[in-house]
Each structure stands twice: as C-alpha cells, then as structure tokens.
Structure 1
Amino acid sequence: MLVLSLCGALAAAVCFGLSSVLQAVGMRGAGPVSELEPKSMVRAWLTLPFLAGVGLDLLGFGFELVALRHLPLFLVQAAIASALAVTAIAAAVVMKERLGRGEKCAVAAVCVGLALLGVSAGPEGANRAHTDFYTALAACLIGLAVLGAGAGRLPGRWRTVTLGLCAGLCFGVLALAARTLPELDPVRMVREPATYLVAASSLIALVLWTMALSGGSVTTATAAMVIGETVLPAVVGVVVLGDEARQGWVPVAVGGFLLAVGGALALARFGELGNAPSGTAPRAAPAAGRASAETAP
C-alpha cells in the first residue's frame, strides 16, 4: 500500500505540472485575455487545452487524497510542490521555455530529494484526529482569512508575500484535514468535520491566492505559497499526527525534504506559465484548492 500511495503522490505531481502547461497553452491560444473583460477569460477557459488541464487537476486531487491516507505529510507535500519541476520540464518541451543550468540542477534536486524521502519515510500516524485538532484547524483557517483580508491593504512585495504565504498555509490546513479523513465513503464523509475543513480551506486558499496574483510577482507568490504548504503541515504531521521516518533515517528524510522543497522554490518562476499573458491565476497552487473551486487554476 505504501508503494501504491507513493505512486499516487507522484502521479498527482505529474497531473498538476502538466495541467499548468495545458492551461497556459489554452490561455495563449485564446488570444489577448484581460481580467477586466470577462468574455475573454471565459473564451480562454473554454479552450480544449484549458479544460484538459482542469480535468488533470481533478484527477490529481484524487491521487493526492489516496497518497494522504497512507503516507507521511512531509512526503506528500514535498511531492506536490515538485509539480513545479514537472511544469518546468513540460514547458521546455511544449512551450520552448529555456531551462538554465541552475534550473536543471533544481529539477535534479527535486528528483533526488523525493527519492530520499521515499526510501526514508516510515508509516503514517493516526488517521482520525481528536475534536480539538479540528477546532484548532478551524481557528487557524479563520485567522488566516482575517490576516489575508488585512494583507490585501499592504504595499507592494509585502502584500504578495503575505497573501502567498497565507494561501499556502490554507492549502496546508486542507492537507491536514484530508489526511485525517477515516475513509473515502461519501455517506460517512458528510458527517466528518474534516470534510468541511477541506471545502472551506480550499475556497479561502483560492481567494487568497487570486489576491496574491492580482498585484504582484507570480514568482514571489509561488515561492511563499510553496513554503506555506510544505513546512508547517510537515511539522504538524510529525508532532501531532505521529508521522515519522524509518528508524535511523531521520537525517536522510530531512535532507530529502530540504532538497525537494528547495528545488521547487528555485523553480518558482514556472508558476508564471498559467499567468501568461493574461494576468489570471496560474497553476502553482496545489490541486486541492483548484479541484474544489476550479475556475482559476
């Protein structure tokens, strides 16, 4: 089951990475697109490549759910962040985006980091969490929403960084909630607080992510988002949910995590793909948010 779940995490990253490129192709193929012209945005969203990208987002979210049920969060979140490496490679092939030496090294770092995480990860901890855990997640989500609303008034770079970080942390809340779903039975899921936290966090994250992109650098927003969605969920998974590395493999797991996330941060500029040339939101955000409120990937 661990091998199958690891394949699910990698499949999710591939889906998200390819989705970004397909959506970028759809946006560019639709001609000039402006946020101020809803018709032009709808025209772009209805292109075949963009719709195919949305389909990949939904498929990727399904793979992510499978992975979250059987793998430590530090491995799954690092794998999801590695979607930027998939985007970089696909963009080089499909869109003729040039990869510099540093970016090629970053792709290699992501691959090596994920390999190290894969061999060092131990069993995941408990699934169903205590009610206090869900209460804490809900309080954090409300706090992030309030902080994000206030950050919208900040000037320049601080606005972009804060909103990107808040969006990433919301996606982290989503991952934590999804990880504690006891089973993927629709009848039972409607009775689980985690289900509603997944829905609420995805919506709030998408709103904050769109705000971050509306007036700042996509690369900056993407880097902040990657940090928010990986670091804190990984720590909570270890401290609260009982995630752990195999005995004696902790240094390897830490090194793999740093390599994978560091490589993703170095590739943050490929979050720009879905934004060119329109100014609409690019991929960069992990799928769960897009899958739940998908109009801006």
Structure 2
Amino acid sequence: MICALGAAVCFGTASVLQAMAARAAEPGTGSGVDTALLLRAARQWRYVLGLALDATGFVLQIIALKHLPIYAVSAALAASLAVTAVVSARLLHVRLGGAEWGAVGVVCAGLAMLGLASGEEGAGTGTFALKLGLLGVAGLVLLVGAVAGGLPDRSRALVLGLAAGTGFGVVEVAVRLIDGVSFTNPAVYALLLGGGAAFLLLTSALQRGSVTVATAGMVLGETIGPAVVGVVWLGDRTREGLAWLAVLGFAVAVAGALALARFGEPPPPSAPAEA
C-alpha cells in the first residue's frame, strides 16, 4: 500500500508538470493520437521531469500490483488527484477552498477503509482468452483516440480521458497477467500498446479542451474496469466479512478524486500588468 500511495504521489505531481508543458506546446493536428505533440511537449523540462516521475510511479505501481488486489491499487492511483490538488496549491498558487480540502480528506478516508478491508491479491493468472481480450482493448483505445480528433472540444476531452484511463487500466491488469517476459504472452503487447496509447491520448486531452472533464474521464476509465476484472477473473478478495467496507472505501475514494478533477488543469497565464 505504501508503494501504491508513492505511485500516486509521483503521478499526481507529474500531472501538474505535464499539463503545463502540454498547454505551452504548439497546437498539433487536433487528432487524439498526435505523436508530434508529444515530441514538442517533451522538449520542455517540465514534461521530461514529469516523465521521470511517471517512470518511478510505474515501478512502484508494479510492486503494489504484485501484492494487493487491483481495486485497492486503482483507487490509490485515482487518489493522485488529491496530490495534484495539493501540488497545484503549492506550485501554481491555486487556492484550495474548504470543499477541496474536504475532498482531499474524503479521498484519504476512502483509502484508509480500503487499506483495512483489502485482502491479498487473487491467485488467478488469467486465461489466454483474457490476455487476447486485453490486447484487443488496447488496440481499441488507440482507434478511439484517432476518431476522437473530429469531436467538439468538450466531447473530445471526455472521450480522450476515458480512453486514456482505459489504456492505463489495461496496464494495471496486464501487470497481473505477466509472469516473466514472454514474447508469446499477449499481455506483454497489451501493456506496451495500452500504456503508449494512454500517454498519447492524455497529452492530447491536456493540450485542448476541458482538462477537468478529461481528468474525470481518466479516473473512471482506470478504476472501475480493472477492479471488476480483478474480482471476477483474477480472484481478488477482501478480508473476511469486510467486503462492504472495501466497496464503500473504493466508492468514497473515487468520488473524492472526481471532486478534485479540475486540478488536472493549470490556471491560465496571468495578463501583463498595466503600466
């Protein structure tokens, strides 16, 4: 759980840096799958530092997924928005009101409930059909991103956010389906394709449209689906008699994260002072 929370700190801080870099980059083609935009954003030190934090968070996420049920890890990762809110208040001088601080507290309370109720990870290793299905979902994420470029800004941000979250969710499940590197395991390719597509789509979502909407969509995409897969197909369970507490904690943590979705968006640059 410490590793999961450490990953949330890394991802939450990286979101602030990457959102600033994406907004400062030159506009791209408008497509949700715009590799040129990713390269332009990567020229800025904020984006590079964000990528380094993402890499660190990914390692911590893998460790957590090897010891905890997926639902506990995904809720902890959604709590990265609480970190984003606090970092935004510190670095970007965004003022947090009572409601926002309350939402941060709600996220912490939900995670505490999950920590108390979570059992060990399930013993299921996943069928070959599940691994193939995961690869298919990763490919669908990339396709949806390409199509989303033609949507209006608000709808585009929501679709890209959901698709990016689904891509990150593919990574969460794929980690559990990989036991050593094997080029015959479709989950390996699902992890690479899903993670790469999610980064492309999220960068595009941060660059144009409502980042608040995109971030909320991402939270939903990366939490609900993986949690269901973990419980239904991989045998994730709770401690005896505490299933209700795990469900409540998951719902509370995700709801608190959604309430903080606007902190994925950096404030507009201030106008120059009048002479």
CA contact (8 A) 2:124 2:233 kept: no
Q: Do the aligned partners of residues 34 and 79 (structure 1) sit closer, same or farther apart at CA in structure 2, a change above 3 Å counting?
A: same
Retained in 1: the 8 A contact 2:141–2:194? no
266 and 151 in structure 1: CA distance in 2 versus 1, 3 angstrom threshold? same
1:157 alignment partner in structure 2: 154
Instruction: Confirm or deny that 1:66 pairs with 2:58.
Output: no
Q: TM-score, normalised by structure 1?
A: 0.79
- Equivalent residue in structure 2 for 1:216, among 209, 219, 229: 209
Distance in 2 of aligned mates of 1:54 and 1:165: 21
Percent identity between matched residues is 46
Normalising by structure 2, we get a TM-score of 0.85
- Structure 1 residue identity aligned to 2:13: L
1:11 to 1, 6, 17: 6
Aligned to 2:228: 235
Question: Do the aligned partners of residues 161 and 12 (structure 1) sit closer, same or farther apart at CA in structure 2, a change above 3 Å counting?
Answer: same
Which of 251, 258, 269 is matched with 2:244 structurally? Answer: 251
Q: Is there any run of 5+ residues in structure 1 with no aligned partner, and where?
A: 1-5, 278-297
For 1:152 and 1:223, locate their aligned partners in 2 and report how far apart those are by CA, in whole Å: 19
Q: What is the CA distance between 1:94 and its match in structure 2? A: 2.6
In structure 2, relative to structure 1, the CA distance for the partners of 1:154 and 1:22 (3 Å cut) is: closer
Q: How many pairs does the alignment contain?
A: 264
- SS of the counterpart of 2:209? coil
1:129 maps to which residue?
126
Judged with a 3 Å threshold, the aligned counterparts in structure 2 of structure 1 residues 258 and 138 are, in CA distance, closer, same or farther, namely same
Secondary structure of the corresponding residue to residue 265 of structure 1: helix
Q: CA RMSD in A?
A: 2.8
CA distance in 1, matches of 2:259, 2:56: 26
Q: Secondary structure at the match of 1:70?
A: coil
CA distance in 2, matches of 1:44, 1:24: 10
Residue type of the alignment partner of 1:9: A
Superposition pairs of residues 1-297 of structure 1, within 5 angstroms = 6-23=1-18, 33-35=25-27, 45-46=42-43, 48-126=45-123, 128-183=125-180, 188-273=181-266
Structure 2 gaps of 5+ residues are 29-35, 270-275
Give, as a single letter, the amino acid of the residue that structure 2 aligns with 1:19.
A
- The Cα of 1:84 is off from its aligned counterpart by 1.0
1:235-265 CA distances to partner (integer Å, 9 max, x unpaired)?
A: 1111111111111111111111011111111
